[in-house]
């Protein structure tokens, strides 16, 4: 039953795929805006730390795979306990994945577009630049680098150097808040925890948010972002996560918070077999 309902939304899934592909193409092929920087600026003179607390793989696991895993485990468990012929729950499962797919796609393209457009240097930019201070380089301590592509020696390679202009907004922060805000709202909605559950249960379901905060703070400890970058990225991701959730599902305080906003699965595939008398 899961495949038929997916076929009913080809344009939506195609849009998710196009947005994701566009975001990756921007990341891979669109160089950021190259800003002039002052070598003595203390905000960009932090050391370059190669090993991050949360690598891209760890971020993907926490912000994308974890919500996807929770969606699938929750819905498959529900169906196993209540019957696999429940078309309505298959529809909830599908709309959950579609909602989360839009969250990841919209956040990805928004983050990458802003990163390349703004071109703000990271806190460790000077280390990535490796400015040529020899007489041939003609640099003084107070010099403004007018053409970083010419002056910087790029000791860690071109890719690391160009990535040094992608400080705003923080991608880790935007994806962490996007995925885990969405997951928190989904947990609240599907569990109906605001409808008579204990305060302890309500607080327990906020754990993903604290995990997201920890990821955000780690970006300053790794000298990858300034606090403003993290705040902007977190705000962007949180808004996208909440917006895409409420695009498909009602408020978590609603009586039908565990059902999608749309009326239900298409009648041509959700009908249960009728007994013929």
Query: Is 139 inside a domain boundary?
Result: no
Query: Is 145 inside a domain boundary?
Result: no
pLDDT at 38 over 50: yes
pLDDT tens digits along 258-274: 999 876 554 444 444 44
Of 194, 184, 126, 177, give the one whose Cα is nearest residue 155: 126
d(CA 232, CA 227): 9
Query: Is 233 inside a domain boundary?
Result: yes
Residue 39 is predicted with a pLDDT of: 83
- For tokens 């010419």, name the residue: 150
Query: Is 47 inside a domain boundary?
Result: no
CA atoms within 13 A on the CB side of 22: 15
Question: Looking at the chain, how many residues does it have?
Answer: 277
Run of H or E residues at 45: none
Question: DSSP string spanning 77-143?
Answer: HHHHHH-TT-HHHHHHHHHHHHHHHHHHHHHHHHHHHHHHHH-PPPTTHHHHH-B--STTTT--TT-
Greater model confidence, 229 or 37:
229
Neighbouring C-beta atoms of residue 134, cutoff 10 Å: 9
Residue 14 is predicted with a pLDDT of: 96
Query: Is 67 inside a domain boundary?
Result: yes
d(CA 7, CA 80): 23
Cβ-based neighbours of 255, under 8 Å, separated by 6 or more: 195
Q: Tally the domains of the chain.
A: 1
Residue 270 is predicted with a pLDDT of: 44
What average pLDDT does the segment 86-92 reach? 88
- The proportion of the chain whose per-residue pLDDT surpasses 90, expressed as a percent, equals 73
d(CA 44, CA 121): 7
The dihedral formed by the CA atoms of 80, 81, 86 and 87, expressed in degrees to the nearest 10: -50
Of 138, 144, 118, give the one whose Cα is nearest residue 39: 144
Point out the least confidently predicted range of 7-11, 94-98, 150-154, 179-183: 7-11
Query: Is 56 inside a domain boundary?
Result: no
- For tokens 């076929």, name the residue: 7
pLDDT tens digits along 131-174: 887 655 555 555 666 578 888 999 999 999 999 999 999 999 99
Greater model confidence, 189 or 6:
189
d(CA 170, CA 115): 8
d(CA 239, CA 29): 27
Question: CA of 47: how far to CAs of 51, 130, 223, in Å?
Answer: 12, 11, 7
Residue 72 is predicted with a pLDDT of: 97
Residue 136 is predicted with a pLDDT of: 57
49: left (phi over 0), alpha (psi -120 to 50) or beta: beta
Query: Is 118 inside a domain boundary?
Result: yes
Query: Is 262 inside a domain boundary?
Result: yes
Question: Which residue range(s) make up the domain with 75?
Answer: 2-30+61-122+161-270
Residue 152 pairs in a beta bridge with: 131
């Amino acid at each position: 039953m899961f495949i038929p309902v997916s076929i009913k939304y080809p344009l939506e899934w195609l849009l998710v795929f196009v947005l994701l592909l566009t975001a990756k193409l921007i990341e891979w092929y669109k160089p950021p805006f190259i800003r002039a920087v002052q070598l003595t600026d203390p905000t960009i003179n932090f050391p370059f730390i190669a090993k991050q607390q949360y690598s891209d793989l760890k971020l993907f696991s926490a912000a994308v795979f974890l919500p996807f895993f929770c969606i699938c485990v929750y819905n498959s468990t529900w169906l196993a306990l209540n019957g696999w012929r429940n078309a309505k729950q298959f529809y909830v499962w599908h709309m959950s994945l579609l909602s989360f797919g839009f969250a990841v796609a919209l956040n990805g393209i928004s983050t990458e577009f802003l990163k390349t457009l703004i071109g703000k240097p990271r806190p460790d930019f000077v280390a990535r630049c490796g400015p040529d201070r020899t007489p041939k380089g003609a640099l003084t301590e107070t010099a403004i680098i007018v053409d970083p592509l010419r002056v910087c020696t790029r000791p860690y390679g071109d890719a690391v150097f160009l990535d040094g202009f992608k400080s705003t907004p923080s991608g880790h922060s935007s994806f962490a808040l996007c995925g885990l805000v969405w997951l928190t709202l989904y947990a609240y909605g599907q569990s109906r925890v605001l409808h008579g559950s204990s305060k302890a249960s309500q607080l327990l379901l906020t754990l993903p948010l604290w995990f997201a905060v920890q990821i955000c703070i780690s970006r300053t400890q790794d000298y990858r972002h300034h606090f403003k970058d993290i705040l902007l990225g977190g705000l962007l991701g949180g808004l996208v996560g909440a917006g895409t959730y409420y695009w498909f599902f009602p408020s978590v305080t609603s009586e039908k918070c565990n059902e999608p906003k749309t009326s239900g699965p298409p009648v041509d595939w959700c009908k249960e077999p009728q007994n013929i008398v």
